[in-house]
Chains A and B, each alone.
Chain A
């Protein structure tokens, strides 16, 4: 009986410590800190982004793999996997003009792929107005009813 309770205690303690950790860590899932991005790209929220994407003013770019994009993506988003940047960028620029505001996302706010893609679009393609979608794909999933 004691062993059974000890067995249950492992995940309960882990969940308790994990919840506190997520709360106090600067990039925790429900952090008490306001994230101040150090990569230089401004963050935009989903509610700011969706109307502008629908109106064709902003371009929404999915930086995850094509496979992940095909499983699910935010409506209106186009796929440009950060891992396929060299192969795809020429064709991508033919279809999408650089003068638009581009909002990039991956799974969450802190996933590396959106920032990596933003850096490459800025440095190698000369794209100037680049933003990161706050919360990424997770924000969209959470916003659905």
Chain B
């Protein structure tokens, strides 16, 4: 039962990363535009590197989560990315920026979910995903196998 629950969480988190990465891959310029929309003092070169690598990072992490390979490293990157996303969206929220978070567009599922793309909504979403990642990590540690 517990194992099934952990597998479900893994599929949810992995699927989320994978879908977010694929969506970003399909609109490369939009990713760069989203990076700029956070109005951070980033040099252009850094913004371009982020826009180039981020979609594939999400795809790699998503695929690794789904398949359960390289568990320790995958969790490390999952926490790192989610903490980074949480930090970004929270600072945008605190600064009152009216922007689209540039993350997975859930409004395609239902228009009401558009609120989860605002900085506030995205912060809550990232917090939720971070919670899932923590549950998965503790679950896989307790099971001792490193795999959920």
Contacts and interface: CB of A to CB of B under 8 A. Distances in A.
A3 B72 contact: yes
Specify the main secondary structure of chain B where it touches its partner: helix
Contact of B52 (A6, A13, A18, A109): A18
A22 interface: yes
Interface residues of A, number: 32
Interface stretch (A48-56, A63-71, A88-96): A63-71
B76 A106 contact: no
Nearest to A18: B52
Contacts of A106: 33
A10 B44 contact: no
A7 B32 contact: no
B28 A141 contact: no
A62 interface: no
B72 A107 contact: no
A76 B83 CA distance: 39
Interface residues of B, number: 31
Given A27-B28, A111-B33, A141-B44, A15 B52 contact: yes
A128 interface: no
A25 interface: yes
Given A17-B56, A19-B52, A29-B48, A107 B27 contact: no
14 contacts: A7-B76, A10-B77, A13-B60, A18-B52, A18-B53, A21-B25, A29-B28, A29-B29, A68-B39, A108-B33, A109-B29, A111-B30, A138-B36, A141-B44
Given A10-B61, A18-B55, A112-B30, 6 more contacts: A3-B73, A10-B77, A21-B28, A67-B97, A108-B29, A111-B29
